[in-house]
A = this chain, B = another copy of it.
């Protein structure tokens, strides 16, 4: 009988208070370390050292280095979406919502510069998680845009193309004006972008 080597399962969730704390600490340490120096350069030893525990303990909570990373990517997605949803919640119309959303995203990035390192590296380490991250975003985005078009708040057009175009702008602007160079007047950046988006480039 060939023994079917069963695909390993993720370790069960911690049952005690102590365990929950350790697991959470491990996640925070992983975010800090991987966000700082990148996935490839981060060793399990780095992460457990940061968390203040022994190396072996890591494997009580996560099956592999890959697994923490995936969880981190998913967490980043939830965090970002939550933050943006909140920031945009009571905007009177879509254009205002877009403006506030971009402004909030730049602020989010500025105060959490680890985000890009994690999400970007997911492209190689966990391609499916990477795609999910952006696809989930884009879906919500596109829904909002097409609802707004139906309401006549913006001109009609492909909500999907627009959503990805706008996301792309936000990502690159964040990297350039909130991470590479800090202390930039982000309101100015948002104003410039929306001048273009609202009125077009035409003279």
Give the number of times this chain occurs in the complex, counting copies.
2
A154 within 8 A of B: yes
Quick one: which of A163-194 are within 8 Å of B by CB? 164-173, 176-177, 180, 188-189, 192-193
User: Are A201 and B155 closer than 8 Å at their CB atoms?
Assistant: yes
In the complex, which of the residues B123, B157, B170, B195 contacts A196, with contact meaning CB atoms closer than 8 Å? B157
Say whether B203 contacts A200, CB under 8 Å: no
Cross-chain contact of A200 among B152, B164, B170, B197 (Cβ < 8 A): B197
Decide if A38 is an interface residue (CB 8 Å cutoff): yes
List B contacts of A196 (CB < 8 A): 157, 162, 165, 197, 200
The answer for the CA separation of A31 and B166 in the assembled complex, in Å, is 30
Whether A201 contacts B124 by the Cβ 8 Å rule is no
Question: Which residues of the other chain, B, contact A192 by a CB distance below 8 angstroms?
Answer: 157-158, 161-162, 165
Known: A167-B172, A169-B168, A192-B158. A202 touches B201 (CB 8 A): no
Q: Are A171 and B173 in contact (CB under 8 A)?
A: no
Asked, given contacts A173-B168, A192-B161, whether A155 binds B199 with beta carbons under 8 Å apart, the answer is yes
Given the interface contacts A192-B161, A197-B196, does A154 sit within 8 Å of B202 by beta carbon?
A: yes
* B153 adjacent to A203 (CB under 8 Å): yes
Pair B197/A201 contact, Cβ less than 8 Å:
yes
A202 CB, nearest partner CB in chain B, Å = 6
Residues of chain B contacted by A193 (CB below 8 angstroms)? 161-162, 165
The reply to whether A195 and B121 form a contact with Cβ atoms under 8 Å apart is no
Q: Which residues of B contact A171 (CB under 8 A)?
A: 168, 171-172
> How far is the CB of A186 from the nearest CB of chain B, in Å?
11
Which residues in A have some Cβ–Cβ distance to B below 8 Å? 38-41, 95, 98, 117, 120-121, 123-124, 131, 134, 138, 152-155, 157-158, 161-162, 164-173, 176-177, 180, 188-189, 192-193, 195-203
